[in-house]
Each structure stands twice: as structure tokens, then as C-alpha cells.
Amino acid sequence: MNPFYSGTRLRDMIRAIRACKTAAEERAVIRKECAAIRASIDENDHDYRHRNLAKLMFIHMLGYPTHFGQMECLKLIASAGFPEKRIGYLGLMLLLDERQEVLMLVTNSLKQDLNHSNQYIVGLALCALGNICSAEMARDLAPEVERLLQFRDPNIRKKAALCSIRIIRKVPDLAENFVNPAASLLKEKHHGVMITGVQLCTELCKHSSEALEYFRKKSTEAMVKTLKDLVNSPYAPEYDIAGITDPFLHIRMLRFLRVLGQGDADASDCMNDILAQVATKTESNKNSGNAILYECVETIMSIEDSGGLRVLAINILGRFLSNRDNNIRYVALNMLMKAITVDAQAVQRHRTTILECVKDSDASIRKRALDLVYLLVNESNVKPLTKELIDFLEVADQEFKGDLTAKICSIVAKYSPEKIWYIDQMLKVLSEAGNFVKDEVWHALIVVISNASDLHGYTVRTLYRAFQRSSEQQESLLRVAVWCTGEYGDMLVNNIGMLDIEDPIVVTESDAVDVAETAIKRLGSDLTTKAMGMIALLKLSSRFPSCSERINNSIVQYKGSLVLELQQRSIEFNSIIASHQKMRSVLVERMPVLDEATFIGKRAGSMTGSASTSNAAAINLPNGVSKSSAPLVDLLDLSSDDVPVPSSSGGGFIQDLLGLDLSAAPEKSGSNPTPISGADVLLDLLSIGTSPPAQSTASATDILSNQEKSPTSQLDGLSSLSSLSANKPSAAVSSPTIDLLGGLSPNLASEDENGSVYPSIVAYESGSLRITFDFSKTAGSPQTTLILATFKNLSPNSYTDFIFQAAVPKFLQLHLDSASASTLPGSGNGSITQHLRVTNSQYGKKHLVMRLRIAYKVDDKDVLEEGQVSNFPRNL
Amino acid sequence: MIRFILLQNRQGKTRLAKYYVPLEESEKHKVEYEVHRLVVNRDPKFTNFVEFRTHKVIYRRYAGLFFSLCVDITDNELAYLECIHLFVEILDHFFSNVCELDLVFNFHKVYLILDEFILAGELQETSKKAIIERMGELEKLE
């Protein structure tokens, strides 16, 4: 006997542990006990093995490591007596799980015990197997379990049935072996066997469609009859729960019927009567009865259509909703979510009750109810529902506001009947919970505001009021207010565009400037807000010349800002105000109307888009805020390095840059035929083509919008802005463009003949220059044409710094590879080649058309040639 | 299907933990800690159902003890609530007026009762009488 082994009893150990005052004391006691148990294990002490393991289980429950006891479990299981086996199996289930390799060692003992003559020992083995069996054990022991399904003692049969469930879950292939014995369990009278049998059959149906077919044919009627007997059974004290005989069995049977009836009209028909009976006769004043009703409703909703039953079911849920028990209301909401796909009209009837649940104090009920309300909204009820939800927003918990706000915004955007209503609701949401509003949402709001030209004045005044009212500033409210004040400040001050419903307000020019200043000075404002504030100030300086001085002073303060973005803006804007008075009014003109359709398309594109990060980043900044003033060269490199995917928004980036906005064109092509004739488009294109730098610093929304406006004035403004942002206020616009395009590095390549099926054309010919195009198609994409452009110099002088540019209308996408060289020798003695790839989104409907611009130097003199190509083969 | 059953007191001491899905020891402790935190401070007026990761926990409080079942999201909450109550009634009957100390000192018996009530995460027997009788038979064999 080990001298250290005190031999305390289990009860004494528990007492000793409970008597511990501190965690350290407890650890000391456990350490001592564990040492003793280890010693005892080392001595292979048979007498105490049983007690040791019991102690270890308790120690394990307290969270201490007990792996050294695992082998003891196996030894106990292997011993002969029932009490040893019992504690051994208990330890096995507690200390081990299916992933431990030790478990493999027990398979053999399990097999022996499953075949043991003592049915209690068989029961122990089944129980262990059911709780921890692994896939390998399942395969090894499935035949034993299958046999035990027919064992004479019902206690073994029910355990074997549940064991089979575990086996099928681990190894679904074994399902078919269990179908026949499982079917015979359904005929049993013993409730325990019956309920386990039903559960086994349900599980089998889940894993095997043959089993499902089999049970549908053979067991549906029998199951209906059994359920009927159970429903009509007299009082049975053994199974009675609150006046109902065995609600658990009811529920399992209803669930099984649901599996059988789903997708099968005959089976569904067969169970109609009994479902109606359960739905109408079950007592609903106790939880057990409601549990049955709940299961019954779910079954009715899932099986094949029978209108009458569904009305019954939804009425039950309606009763549930007005129940005072939260649990009942919760399950009702849960079920209504499912019911709404089946019968939305019936669910609508309970709308007011559901709306009340949104205001419940219990978060889980609120969440369910909100989800449900969201599904219930349609054009006809959007106004009252939104009003209720927004009213509730004021009093909702902080943690619920995020969810609620997102849902309201989504509802308002989806169902708004008119713009003024949309704007009103969004402003309410922004003032209540602006901090919870996502960026896309307020971006969308700005797009809508910009489009509602008759509401500009109304919106900016309402925003001003909301801004004045809100005590704790909501960031996104502030941003929208600042943007609108910058754009429509004059309307705010002069009360332009008053609607009948408005009260006039008196706002001075300096009040309006205050709004923008607040945005910059407020402590909590982030960079975007501050930057937007800066732009608003700049805009106001032009709208309100009298405040110009004051604005300049406050802008100048940020010249020394450590934040680069603010510093740069401050310097640039200061120089605009101070030294470019003439240009300023043009520069800060009101933003052109943002194109809604494009914005939505972009959003969809950037959400699903593959290579759209650049785009998404651009969309984030609708007010001339460009966080990365990325050098243009980089952007143009994009075009030569990246292969644009046709119609992906990522590929559209460079076209965006050129103001072509091609990425949206394929989506819109069906509904929105290009309203402008080709030539005009081309003219536009070239004028836009001169100012790519402008668009890179200007906002993306700006780029999105240049569909229906006169480009010139805006472009002038933008391009000068861009050169400003490069800190070169007086740089000419055209020269950087060409420089930048020159960044496409040229290299030499040999000329080769193109054997395409399309005739080559002379795309352009002047006295000194000839350009020929050779065409080919790649297999599988007929809309994409590869063009090999060959340039020949017919004059005696050689050309240097040769640059070829091309522009196409919106329905085309153009990708230019770099040219083979930049020097073109004279007298036709050599050529430059360049590959172009054109993707025609209107392939088959429209033909290719292209505008060219060629720049080069002869004797250090710049020469510029332009031309249009309209003689493309018709079927490209 | 029942994923696990926990029986915890107000202080978070686990009195019974039965897992029907394999979890690492560390994960089990985390689960026990999280479930305790979820249920212990919940307003008694709230539902007895709490979402827990991708499942839900059905719990019920008896004096200082919380009985929590973690079940699949599609399972019938009300039925499991009834199931907890039945288990408590069985314990009450077996220990005649059960209290926390009974469960501490006879923890192995509690596990044995549970094994007669639930197996492989599914209900095995719904009759209190049958389970008590079965326990009686098994005790005789000790």
C-alpha cells in the first residue's frame, strides 16, 4: 500500500474541496488527490480503481486535467462485474470523446458487451456507443446494434434505436441496413420504443431518399392511425403532462409526418384529418399543449397545400402572438417567418400585433419581429409602417438601433412612393440614428437629393433645421447637411424653392458658413467629414462673396495641419480664393445631377464585382473628396498592365477616368439606348480625353454623371482643380495629359502579317502618315475584336515621341497595349505596331467607330493629327 | 438534436455537463462560460431561448440552478422546455426533493439518470415512472 495514499472516500474528497476557501486551497487539495490517484494507478490497485475513477470524474468536472485516468476507464470496462463496468463506461463518456485514439481500444470490449448475456451490461454498452461512437466504431459495430433492435427487452430496443441514429449520422451509407428493423419499431406499443423508433425513421428519411419513399408508402397511414389513437387515448398517469398524454411522442410523430408529407400530395392528403384534429382539439393553456400546436402548425405549413388547414394554422399563430408568455410569442414570430412564404396575406392580418412585438423589451423577440415586419412591407403599407418604426427609433436601445436603422433605410429605399417622402424619412433616420447609417445609404441619399431639383431648397432647409435641432451630432447627418449646404447654400439663405408645407426660416450667410465650419472643427468629425467641410467652405466662398474673407481665414488655419489631406486642401483652396477669383465661380459651380441609374449600377457592380476595389473606393467619396491623390501615371498604367474584363466594373475604371463610363453601359444597354448620335459622342470623347487628370482627382460620382450635361465648363473647372492638386496652379492642361500617355513604355516589335478573315482597312491617311488596321477575333468571344494597328511614316523625316491615342463611344470598351516603338523612321522604312482590343457591348446591333489622335515630334516640333474611323467592317 | 446539456449554478459552477458532439476540453470550458454568462443575467421576463453561435440554448432556472440545453435552430423550443422540466421532476422524485448538494455528492447518479432519459442527443424515455423504476433495478445490481 502506498504510504501517501490516504484512501479518502469520494464523499470526503468532495467535502474537502467544498470546504476550500480560496482557489489556491482547492488546487492544493486536488493536487494531493491526483497524486494519490496516480500512485494508486501505478500500483495497479484493483480495489480502488472504481473509487479513483469516480473521483477523477469529479475533478474533471471542476476543470482539471485528468487524461492520466483514461486507461483506467478501459480497464474497468474490461472487468467482469456490472458496477465496475458501469463506472468505467461513465468515465469513458465523460473523460473521452470520439476523437481520442484511446477510444479505438475500447471497440472490442464494446463488441463483447453488446453480445453479453446480461441485458443490463448490453444497455451500458449501447449507451456508451450512442454517446461517443466514432465513424470507425459505427462501421464495426453496426451489425450488433441492428440485431439489438429486435431484442426482447424494450429498454434495449429503444437504446439500440437511438444508437442507430448516431451510427447513421456518422456513416450515412449504413442507413439502408436499418430501414426494415426501424419500420417494425413503429408498430410497438411501448412509448419509449415508439418515440425512439419514430426518431430513427425520421433520421433515416433525412439521409436516404429510398428510406423516405419506403416509409411514405408503408408507414404513413399507420402513423396517422397511431397518432389518432394517441390523441384520443384516455388519461394515462404515467405519460401525462399537464393533461396531455405524452406530448413528446405527439411532437415526434408530427415531425415524422412532416417529413413524409413534404413534397408528396398523397401522403399530405392522408394526414389532413388528423392534423386538423390536433390543431383544433389540443388544449392551449399549458406549455405542453402549445408545444404540440406549434409542431402541428409547422407540419401544416410544410406539407402540400391544403388551404383550409393553413388558415387554421395561421389563426393559431395569431392566438400565440397575443399570448402573454414571451416564449409563445417568440415561437409564433419564428413560425410566421416561415408562413409568410406560404400565405403572405394571412400574415398581413397580424401586422399590428407584430409591430407591437418590435417594441418588446426582449431582444430576441424584437429581432424576430423586425425581420418579419421587413418582410411584410409593401407599397400599400410602407408609409404607416415606416412611421411606426421611425417613431420607435427614438426610444430603441442603442444595440438595437443598428439593426433597426439598416432595416428602415432598406425599406424606405425599396418602397418609397415619392422623392420628398424618401428624403423626409431619410433625414429623420439620420437625425435619430445617423451614426448607425452605412456609407452607401447616405451616398444614395445624396444622389437622390441631387436628382430632385425641385426639392433642393426644401432639403437644404430641412437639413439646416435638423442640424440646429440635433444636440448630439450624428456624423452622417452632418455630412449630408454639409454637402447640401455647400451645394445649395444660396437656396438656404434666400428661401428659394419654398414648398407650401414649409415655414420660412431666416438664415444668414454666415449661419450657413457656420454649418461647414462646425463640420471641420467638431471634435468627433473624421477626416471625410472635415474634408467635405472644406469643400463646402470653398463652394460657399463663391456663393457668398461677402463671407469670402472669413472663409479664407478659416481655411488658412489648416495650412499647418498634420493631416496631409487637410493641409493640401487648405493650401489649394486658399490659393483659389486668393489668386484665382475669376475662375473660382466656374470651378465651384453646383455639382451636375448625379446619375441615379449609373449609381445603382455601380453599387450593384461593386457589391458583386470582382476587381472593383478601385471603383468602390471612388464611390465612397461623392463630394470631391479623393483620399488618395494617386498619380495619374499609376492609373494609366492600370490600362496597360491589367487586362480589363469585359463588362466588369473593375475594367471600367480607366474608362471612368476618361469619362466614358463604359462599365454601366452593358447593363443599361437594353433599357436605355444611347440617345446621342455617334459623331457627337466622339466629339465629346475627345474633349473629355484632354482632361483625364481632372477626373482622377474629382469625385467618382462626378465621373458617373457626365451623361447629360455640357462638358466644357465643368471640365475647365475640374481640370484646373486637378492641376491645382498637383500643386502646379498654372500648368497647362494638355501637356501633362500627353506626358502621361507617354508613360506607356514603347518597345520594338517586328511587323507581322495578319491572316484574319476580316479585310484590313486603312484607318487613317494623311500626307505623311498612314495607319492600317488588321482584325482578328478570339474564339468564344465574338464581341471582342483584336486590332493590330500599323503606323507608317510617308514623309522623309523620322518622327520621334510618337503617341497614338484612340477613343470610342460608350457602348464600346477599348484597351490599348503599348506601342512597339516611339520612333517612326521616315520614307516608309519601318513601322510601329500597336495592339488594341475593343469589346462591343452592343455586338450585332452597333458597329465599331473610333476617333484617333496622333501626336509626334518632327525636328523637335510638336505635331498633332486627329481623325475618325468609320469604315470598320460591318460585322465587328 | 441536443448538442449539449449543462447544469450550472448561479456562480457558474458546472454541476453537470453532457456533450453529444465532440468538443475540445478548452472549447467546453469556453462554452460553459459563455452559456452561463448568457443565461445568468437575463431578465426572467424574457424568453427562455437564447441564440448561441449557430444553435440556440433553451434554459430554465430552478432556484439557483440553470438547466440549459443547446439544440438545433429548427428544433421545437417549447418541447425542450418541457423536456427540462420533466428531467427536473425525475431528479426531484429520485432524490426526493432535490437540492444542489444532492447533485454535487451524487453527480455520477445524475449522469446515470440522464443516460436513461436522453441518448445520442435524442429523447429516450418520456415516462418518469419508467426511468425511476429502471434506476431502481440498476441500483440493485451495485
Confidence at A734, pLDDT banded by 50, 70, 90 = very low
Is the pLDDT score of A770 beyond 90?
no
pLDDT at residue A590 is higher than 70: yes
Give A297-344 pLDDT, tens digit per residue.
999 999 987 778 888 898 899 999 888 888 999 999 989 988 888 888
Q: Give the domains, in start order, of chain A with CATH numbers.
A: 219-305 (no CATH), 649-740 (no CATH), 761-869 (2.60.40.1230)
- The three grid cell numbers given for residue A64, joined into one nine-digit string: 482539471
CB contact under 8 A, B138 and A290: no
CA distances in angstroms from A784 to A17, A108, A611, A660, A709, listed in the order given: 80, 68, 20, 18, 30
**Chain B nearest CA to A33, separation (Å):** 17
Ramachandran sector of residue B6 (left: φ over 0; alpha: ψ -120 to 50; beta: rest) = beta
Question: What are the tens digits of pLDDT across the range A525-580?
Answer: 888 888 888 888 888 888 888 888 888 888 888 888 888 888 888 888 888 888 87
Closest CA to A833 of A797, A802, A870: A802
B13 Cα to chain A: minimum distance (Å): 8
Q: Tell me if A483 sits within 8 A of A539, measured CB to CB.
A: no
Using the Cβ of A295 and the Cβ atoms of chain B, whether some distance falls under 8 Å is answered with yes
Chosen from A288, A293, A299, A399 to mutate, greatest number of chain B CBs within 10 A: A288
Those residues whose C-beta lies under 8 Å from the C-beta of residue A361, and which sit 6 or more positions away, are B43, B45, B46
- pLDDT per residue over A414-424, tens digit each? 888 888 898 88
Helix (H, G, I), strand (E, B) or coil at A301: helix
Write the CA distances from A845 to A683, A703, A761, A873, integer angstroms: 22, 27, 21, 13
What per-residue confidence (pLDDT) applies to A508? 84
Residue A119 confidence (pLDDT):
92
Following DSSP, what letter does each residue of A182-250 receive, concatenated?
A: HHHHTT---HHHHHHHHHHHHHHHHH-HHHHHHHHHHHHHHHHHHHHHHHTPPP-TTTEETTEE-HHHH
**For the segment A489-507, what is each residue's pLDDT rounded down to a tens digit?**
888 888 877 787 878 788 8
Given a cut of 80, is residue A662 above it in pLDDT? no
- pTM, rounded to two decimals: 0.67
Q: Domain residue spans in chain B?
A: 1-139
Lowest average pLDDT, out of A248-257, A513-522, B6-15, goes to A513-522
Q: Which of A192, A247, A291 sits opposite B124 (nearest CB)?
A: A192
Amino acid at A846: K
Res. A602 pLDDT band, cuts 50 70 90: low
Give yes or no for residue A633 having a pLDDT over 60.
no
CATH number of B1-139: 3.30.450.60
Q: Which of A297-306, A770-779, B128-137 has maximum average pLDDT?
A: B128-137
Mean confidence (pLDDT) of chain A:
78
3-state secondary structure of A572: helix
**Radius of gyration of the CA atoms of chain A, in A:** 39
pLDDT at A311: 87
Residues A181-225 pLDDT 10s:
999 999 988 999 999 999 999 999 999 999 999 999 999 999 999
Contact B17 A330 (CB under 8 A): no
Q: Dump the DSSP string for B35-80.
A: HHHHHHTS-TTS-SEEEETTEEEEEEEETTEEEEEEE-TTS-HHHH
Q: Which pLDDT score, from 0 to 100, does residue A174 have? A: 93
Query: What is the model's pLDDT at position A604?
Result: 62
At A623, the pLDDT band (50, 70, 90 cuts) reads: very low
- For residue range A666-704, list pLDDT tens digits in order: 333 334 433 433 334 333 433 333 333 333 333 433 433
Whether residue B48 and residue A191 make contact (CB cut-off 8 A), yes or no, is no
Asked if this assembly's ipTM is beyond 0.85, the reply is: yes
For chain A, give me the number of helices (H) and strands (E)? 41, 10
Confidence (pLDDT) at A471: 66
In chain A, residues 421-440 whose CB comes closer than 8 Å to chain B: none
Q: At residue A348, what is the residue type?
A: Q
